[in-house]
Amino acid sequence: MTRSLDAAIAAFEPHLPLAIAYSGGADSTALLHACAARWPGQVLAIHVNHGLQAAAADFEQHCRAVCAGLAVPLHVSPVDAHARAGQSPEDAARLARYGALRAFALPENAEPPCATVALAQHADDQVETVLLALSRGAGLAGLSAMPARWLRDGVDYARPLLDVSAADIRSWLTERGLPWIEDPSNAHTGFLRNRLRAELLPVLRAIIPHYADTLPRSASHAAQAQTLLTELAQADLQALCAPGSSSPAIAQLQTLSMARQANVLRHWLNSVHHTQASSAQLQELLAQIAACTTRGHQLHIRVGHGFVRRSNGVLDWYNPPV
């Protein structure tokens, strides 16, 4: 169930000092003001300048002015967020943003140091993320949407506003007379997320008024189920690999059900080799494993950005040099 911004901040327990990822938009503006009021002198801000719009310099100046008025230290991180071949603009911007946040948050780089980085995604963002995952045919990992708290590359991240609606955030700002900037790219319906927000969510709201509560609840159930699958995959992978090895034995893998094989193979590829198999690749890999009934059967198929092959009775993944 959604709750007020004040209730969300009251329940938030970050490690201090706290860094706010501050774009100047409504959501991060509310997060910055609320956190600066609750933890005076313990909050800093980081503004990632993507350099993708003519107004980027104006956004930066606005953020500098707001932080100066709050006596909150601001770090500005310019990045190259242009998409490369085969990469969507959204993914390029997201990767550049997280790269900048991570670089800033590492203890040897932050000045002053920060212990937690807070991002301002809210309940409506969570709904959009679930809908995007459904549109892509995602599994439980994708349907789990965005976590409220997680560790990545040694950095503690938090999303304290995930239970707060966008409307409540803007009402909170308006009641206090706090200005924010509107990013014109949010109105660009060439991006699927923006089109969902502009065209689908108003219809969904009319048909299912409580969707902002029910869809995130489904995401929470999916996240819990994914946790169980991950724990099972970890146990299975340990049982399938010889001591000191990360290569699962094919004969032992064949004793598992197809669903369990798929689960452990996804985990093996992701956790050991940092790659993911498409649905078609995973189905082909499972079929090839089932066919490995003789010593001479060869297995060599593309999976992710490399290849899986049979090597002395075990599976091996490799990425040949270009």
What is the domain-level CATH number for residue 278? 1.20.59
Q: Tens digits of per-residue pLDDT, 42-95?
A: 999 999 886 666 677 889 999 999 999 999 999 998 776 666 665 566 677 777
**For the chain, what is the domain count?**
2
203 and 94 share a domain? yes
| Residue 32 structural domain | 5-215
C-alpha gyration radius of the chain: 23
- Angle value at C-alpha 158, between 157 and 162, nearest 5 degrees: 145
Give domain status of residue 220, yes or no: no
Q: Supply the pTM of this predicted model.
A: 0.83
**CATH number, position 18:** 3.40.50.620
257 and 309 share a domain? yes
- Relative to beta strand 300-303, strand 155-158 is unpaired
Q: Tens digits of per-residue pLDDT, 233-268?
A: 999 999 999 999 999 999 999 999 999 999 999 999
Measured distance CA(246)–CA(268) in Å, rounded? 8
Out of 156-160, 277-281, 294-298, pick the least confident.
294-298
307 and 162 share a domain? no
